[in-house]
Structure 1
Amino acid sequence: MKKTKKILPPTYFIILLLLSIGLHFVFPIKKIIFPPYTYLGFILIIFGGVINIWTDLLLKKRKTTVKPYEDPTYLITSGPFRISRNPQYLGFTAILLGIAVNHGTIITFLPTIIFVVLMELIFIPSEEKNLERIFGKEYIEYKNRVRRWL
């Protein structure tokens, strides 16, 4: 893939995270989750953070790119990649969902949905096509064995 300056998934994540928090305070429409259940959001936030840190460490260890617009040099199938082909997106989604659950208002779930749709429409298809081009049969076998999200 040729190098271009494009918005990366972490940027969308940060924008949507701030949007989720902002929407909760500006438009606290219909609380649907109440304490003590809102505290389950912290578990999702921690899970997402752990998955993202683990994934980043693994990518750095294998010296391959984290950027979806660059060609990877190594196909990682261990660690969090055993349960998800997109563990970073899974981690970001878990954090956004955790924030929404913690706030408990219906409007805070909207950014989580937007994030998943953006990843599904913009990033994942081109990433998978690129991985298939670079790693061929090895990636296809991995793709058949491991689910996209969970």
Structure 2
Amino acid sequence: MEKPKKKPLPPTYFIILLLLSIGLHFIFPIKKIIFPPYTYLGFAFIIFGGVINIWADMLLKKKKTTVKPYENPTQLITSGPFRISRNPQYLGFTAILLGIAINHGTLVTFAVPIAFVFLMGLLFIPFEERNLERIFGREYGEYKNHVRRWL
């Protein structure tokens, strides 16, 4: 397996960006674009993201395969939330960050979920997909052709 340079795991990026989003809202409350009661829709995104993350994590543990992007998975999981997204945990984190942005309603906070998607697409997803193709070959190729990366 090709070893990437050591870097923080995706949840670390999520936590840093979550804190950044909250900080940006209070330090630079630039242009409020969503107002109550619509800001409460953010809670639906937060709950959706949390449910997707917990569901995917439970499935990975049940199938006894790794959640860490730098370890070799032992199984290709295509059920549960993996039926709708090849990266349900990143999708869940993104939904939570989007929910926070909607809840705050300020323009600057919407940069955070965009930054998360960009970082995952740059730092993790290409490596993970190459690794899955190497380990699972054709089976992963078929899965990749039927299930989108995000949604």
Q: Secondary structure at the match of 2:30?
A: coil
Q: TM-score, normalised by structure 2?
A: 0.97
What is the count of residue pairs matched by the alignment? 150
* Structure 2 residue identity aligned to 1:127: E
Residue correspondence of structure 1 range 111-150 to structure 2 within 5 A: 111-150=112-151
Whole-angstrom CA distance in 1 between matches of 2:7 and 2:122 = 15
Shift of 1:121: 1.0
Whole-angstrom CA distance in 1 between matches of 2:58 and 2:138 = 26
* Structure 2 residue identity aligned to 1:30: K
Match of 1:59 in 2: 60
Match of 1:45 in 2: 46
Whole-angstrom CA distance in 1 between matches of 2:112 and 2:43 = 17
Whole-angstrom CA distance in 2 between matches of 1:15 and 1:121 = 17
Whole-angstrom CA distance in 2 between matches of 1:99 and 1:63 = 32
Gaps of 5+ in 2: none
RMSD: 1.1
Shift of 1:131: 0.1
Whole-angstrom CA distance in 1 between matches of 2:5 and 2:111 = 29
Percent of residue pairs identical: 83
Gaps of 5+ in 1: none
Residue correspondence of structure 1 range 1-150 to structure 2 within 5 A: 1=1, 2=3, 5-150=6-151
Contact 1:52 1:88 in 2 (8 A): yes
Whole-angstrom CA distance in 2 between matches of 1:106 and 1:3 = 34
Whole-angstrom CA distance in 2 between matches of 1:98 and 1:85 = 21
Whole-angstrom CA distance in 1 between matches of 2:44 and 2:101 = 12
Whole-angstrom CA distance in 2 between matches of 1:110 and 1:54 = 27
